[in-house]
């Protein structure tokens, strides 16, 4: 079952994300407070997948700024991959973003994460060779290796 992600899902969602290598989490943006703030700003565009026992085995964090949609952490527990869960999560998010008037969606994948890059390519997300991704931390951020 796919449903909207809530702040109460935090522990199970982080466990799902960290069960996958290469997620790129950090201690500020991906803290309980950071995720709760994000979900409050984007309450209808992030989803979880629950198995028959109510265990969260997939999650996608997504939202928009009113102009463009952004997909962030998307993962399915390794033992549940290749069953269509990730695709269903992405489709739920794309549908929710389209319902809010968003017509273009962007995401970032680490170049070294081959399986994730193949997943997004299969779903029709093109790689842009004409861009350089840049960011600047406004405070010290600790990366969480997964």
pLDDT of 137 reads 83
Nearest CA to 61 among 13, 21, 120, 104?
13
Indicate the pTM of the whole model.
0.92
User: In the 8-state DSSP scheme, what is residue 126?
Assistant: P
Task: Name the domain count of the chain.
Answer: 1
Residue located via tokens 């909207």: 4
What residue numbers bound the domain in which 82 lies?
A: 2-144
The string of DSSP codes covering 7-26 is GGGHHHHHHHHHTSTT--EE
List the pLDDT tens digit at each of the 146 positions of the chain: 999 999 999 999 999 999 998 888 999 999 999 999 999 999 999 999 999 999 999 999 999 999 999 999 999 999 999 999 999 999 999 999 999 999 999 999 988 889 999 999 999 999 998 988 888 888 888 888 76
pLDDT of 133 reads 85
CATH number of the domain residue 99 falls in: 3.40.630.30
């Amino acid at each position: 079952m796919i449903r909207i992600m809530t702040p109460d899902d935090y522990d199970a969602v982080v466990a799902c994300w960290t069960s996958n290598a290469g997620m790129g989490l950090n201690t500020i943006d991906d803290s309980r407070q950071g995720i709760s703030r994000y979900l409050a700003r984007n309450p209808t565009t992030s989803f979880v997948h629950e198995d028959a026992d109510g265990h969260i085995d997939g999650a996608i964090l997504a939202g928009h700024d009113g102009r463009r949609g952004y997909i962030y952490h998307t993962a399915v527990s390794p033992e549940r991959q290749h069953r269509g869960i990730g695709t269903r999560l992405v489709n739920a998010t794309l549908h929710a973003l389209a319902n809010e008037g968003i017509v273009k969606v962007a995401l970032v994948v680490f170049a070294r994460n081959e399986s994730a890059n193949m997943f997004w390519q299969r779903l029709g997300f093109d790689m842009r060779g004409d861009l350089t991704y840049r960011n600047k931390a406004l405070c010290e951020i600790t990366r969480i290796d997964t």
